Structure formats: structure tokens, C-alpha cells
A = this chain, B = another copy of it.
Amino acid sequence: MPEPIIIGTVALDFIETPFGKVENALGGSACYASIAASFFSKPGIMSIIGKDFPNEHIEFLKSRQINIDGITTGEKTFKWQGFYEFDMNEAKTLKTELNSLESYSVAVPESYKDAKYVFLANIDPEQQLKVINTLNNPELIVMDTMNFWIDIKKEQLLETIKKAHILILNDGEARQLFGTPNLVKAARIALKLVSKAVIIKKGEHGALLFTDSKHFNAPGYPLENIKDPTGCGDCFGGAFTGFLTKTNDVSEENMRKAVIYGSVVASLNAEGFSIENLKKINIKDIEKRYNEFKELRDF
């Protein structure tokens, strides 16, 4: 059985940054997340593509031992076109073609239904909820989202969050969703909805892990040369859930490690264009940077 199972988008990305440009690149939250998870475990994806989806991308996912039984095929693949300006902090969307994603209704393969570890990457919260309701006995549901869904489907989003164990969101989304500029207060509110933990991603400033009794502050990695931050948040969630799946341990202590592995894979991803760096790195590169994270926060 593939684990973790991951629902999210599969996209063809058109990205431009001050350092390069790419067209029809493999992208989407489920792809970044499952590639990141594949360093630790053998994930399975649920998503939709179109008839125009290049076979090489499918072959690549398979080569990473990512199970694609949960991918269905519609007419045209979801396309995202965006760019980053000099400060590289925020993606500016130029164009979004939802295409087959618009009418997507997830079908969870039989072979996924006993999965214990689940990552709901960024996608319509109603589809995330459908996955939760279809599974037999999920033990850990980790959930990501984005501001888009807070804007247009807040009620359904909160409904889904209530069924998740761990909520991941970035600082701006946390402030927006819970109506406070104070991240500690936002986390307290979120902890009333989810049963286990809340993770607030802060980009270059690291990430915060809140559980009922404890707080963990993960450092950001000092990137001198960011090439393309696309997919960093998805990598974080995928690697986080992949590491927990591999270790089968969701103690607070082990979640701290998982947050660092998430940060490690995200930072490595940002140093390459599109998924190019994810294609190059291996678990040794990840362990090396994990140790660098230890060193840079030691006092």
C-alpha cells in the first residue's frame, strides 16, 4: 500500500524568475509534495491530469516509486503561469487555467483506503474532505491549504480542518483565517480545531510547530541563491508527512525532526528551477543539510 497518500494538484507550470524561465514544467501541490515524500517513503497521488499531459512527467513520477493509481485523466491539464520579482518572496500569478481541475471529483483507489498516513496538499477543501470521509481508518491527516480557499470557501475549509490532525499554513494565511496578527494567538485558535498540532510556515524565517503544551521554533536556512521558490510549501508538507510515515512516530519530539526535514527539502528545492533540484538530490544531501540546520541553531 502506498503511503502517505496525497491529494493535491498536478499542473503544468510556466514560471519566470530573475534567474530563468520554464514552460510546461511538472508542477502542482501533489507533485512537489509526493516527490518530497518519496525521499522517505512510497507515496501515492490522487489528482487529475489532461490528455495533453506529457508522458515523460508520468514516467518521472513512476521512477520515484510514486504510485499514480489515484490520478484520473480529464480533457486538459491544470496550468499555472506565474513569476517572481527581485525579492522572490511571493509568487505573482499571471494566469490560471483550471481546465479539468474545475469539475474534479476525487476517486480514492481501493488500494489507498487503508492508508494510515495522509497528506491533503493544497486543493479544494471539499475534495480534501471527501478523501477523509472515504478512508477506513486514517491515523494521521496532515492538511495544507492556501489563501484562495480562505477567500472563497472558508466554511468548507474550516469543516475540513476540524477533521484533520495537523494543520499546516503560512503566516499570512494564519493571520487571515483566524483574524489576528499574532501568530501565537492564531495557533491557539487553530489548536481548538485540529487535534494534534499546527505548523505555521514563515518562508525564509523558518517554521513554528505548536502543540497543546509546547512550542517549537525551526530556523530558516540561510539561502544566498534562491532560484525559484515554487513548490517549497508543498515540499515542506510532503517531506514532513513522508518522514512521519517512515518513522511511524507522531510524538512531539519526532514531529520537530519532521519539521526540520520539511524545511531541508524546501530549502533544497528553492535552490533549483522548478523541480530540477529535487531531481538531483538524494537522501545524503538531505541528511547533510539536516546537520547544518542543527549547527546553525546551536547555542
Contacts and interface: CB of A to CB of B under 8 A. Distances in A.
Contacts of A62: none
A23 interface: no
A218 interface: yes
Contacts of A218: 297, 299
A229 interface: no
Nearest to A221: B217
Contacts of A113: none
B297 A219 contact: yes
A238 to B, nearest CB: 19
B181 A216 contact: no
Contacts of A299: 216, 218, 253, 256-257, 259-260, 294, 297
Given A256-B299, A260-B299, 4 more contacts: A183-B222, A219-B297, A253-B299, A297-B297
Interface stretch (A48-56, A122-130, A199-207): A199-207
5 interchain residue pairs of minimum CB distance: A217-B219, A205-B205, A87-B181, A256-B299, A184-B224
A298 B256 contact: yes
A222 B226 contact: no
Interface in A169-190: 181-185, 188
B224 A182 contact: yes
Contacts of A87: 181
Interface string A192-227: 000000000010111010000011111110111010
A296 interface: yes
B181 A208 contact: no
A217 B296 contact: yes
A88 interface: yes
Contact of A184 (B86, B223, B295): B223
Contact of A222 (B215, B223, B224, B253): B215
A29 B31 CA distance: 50
Contact of A297 (B86, B188, B217): B217
B181 A296 contact: no
Contacts of A296: 214-217
B184 A222 contact: yes
Contacts of A224: 182, 184-185, 188
A58 B178 CA distance: 45
A244 to B, nearest CB: 14
